[in-house]
Amino acid sequence: MVKFVLDPRLEADCIRLGELELSLVLLMNNSLVPWFILVPKVEENEICLLTAEQQNTLYKEINILSEFVCDSFETDKLNIGTIGNIVNQLHVHVVGRRKDDYCWPGVVWGEKEKRPYSASEIENIRILASSIMANGKK
Amino acid sequence: MVKFVLDPRLEADCIRLGELELSLVLLMNNSLVPWFILVPKVEENEICLLTAEQQNTLYKEINILSEFVCDSFETDKLNIGTIGNIVNQLHVHVVGRRKDDYCWPGVVWGEKEKRPYSASEIENIRILASSIMANGKK
């Protein structure tokens, strides 16, 4: 198996928070919305190309991240998507949306506006997210 | 259990193709891309609020539809998303994208441009899709 390397674009745009069983957990460096990304450590670029076991694990991880976003941030709706038109490496967005956020009711994908996190904001999210990393390792 | 009623906006924008075990299968009436929508017949509006069994069935149905789109249309990438910022009823988009389609590499959500299908185009897709409806009923 080839060593897994995170796509450089994701590496540049996001902060690594940790790992679950199958996926890296990233935070998009845009504090305008709580925007997380799962990157399963696989070579395939579509969910339907994963094995049943990988899919089950990925879907479990989407649930973990979904519940984390709903519990940790004020959200009216989750936006979950796997797109990959620009970054081909399989990745799943889990975004908490609010009816008064910067681009509601539009989608965040393709929106140019962003506001990078401060170091202390990142640290706070890292602490919050540490609980799911532990769960994910169970 | 309350009788399931399809959201009027989805009813207006889409063509009903059939049903799988849990979900209605809709075709977005925009022939610029092969754009299908699963609407699970549930009251919850987030995937993580479904029972484990409902989630498993929905994910199976996303796979069925994903493979159908890849097998039946020329596609370079699948875009799969559950958004619901405008239509609150839970629904999952499965869109086949091509590098030369009308809004690549942007997402289709929020794009205003569309071209409705002709009756014969709809009939052709209905025939193609009938195979997965049969599978879904197994």
d(CA A98, CA B77): 29
pLDDT tens digits for range B49-102: 999 999 999 999 999 999 999 999 999 999 999 999 999 999 999 999 999 999
Q: Name the token pair of B89.
A: 């009823």
- pLDDT score recorded for residue B48: 97
Which class for A1: exposed (0-12), middle (13-18), buried (19 or more C-beta within 10 A)? exposed
The rounded mean pLDDT for chain B is 95
B82:A80 CB<8 A: yes
In angstroms, the CA B132 to CA B138 distance is 10
B48 and A63 within 8 Å at the Cβ level: the answer is yes
ipTM of the complex: 0.94
Q: Which residues of A touch B55 (CB under 8 A)?
A: 59, 63
pLDDT band for position B3 (50/70/90)?
Answer: confident
Burial of A132 (0-12, 13-18, 19+ CB in 10 A): buried
Q: What is the pTM of this model?
A: 0.95
- Closest-CA residue of B relative to A86 is B105
Q: How far apart are CA B29 and CA B41, in angstroms?
A: 21
Chain A residues with CB under 8 Å of B82 CB are 78-81
User: Mind listing the pLDDT tens digit for each residue in A50-89?
Assistant: 999 999 999 999 999 999 999 999 999 999 999 999 999 9
| Nearest CB to B85 within list A45, A82, A105 | A105
From the list B63, B86, B106, the residue facing A105 with the nearest CB is B86
Cβ-defined contact of A107 to B106 (cutoff 8 Å): no
Closest B-chain CA to A79: B83
Residue closest to A90 by CA, chosen among B90, B66, B87, B64: B66
Best residue in A37, A46, A61 for a mutation probing chain B (most B CBs within 10 Å): A46
Residue A123: count other Cβ atoms within 10 Å of its Cβ.
11
Residue B87, both tokens: 């239509």
For residue B52, which residues of chain A lie inside 8 Å, CB to CB? none
Q: Residue A134's pLDDT band (boundaries 50, 70, 90)?
A: low
Chain B: give the shortest CA distance to residue A43, in Å. Answer: 15
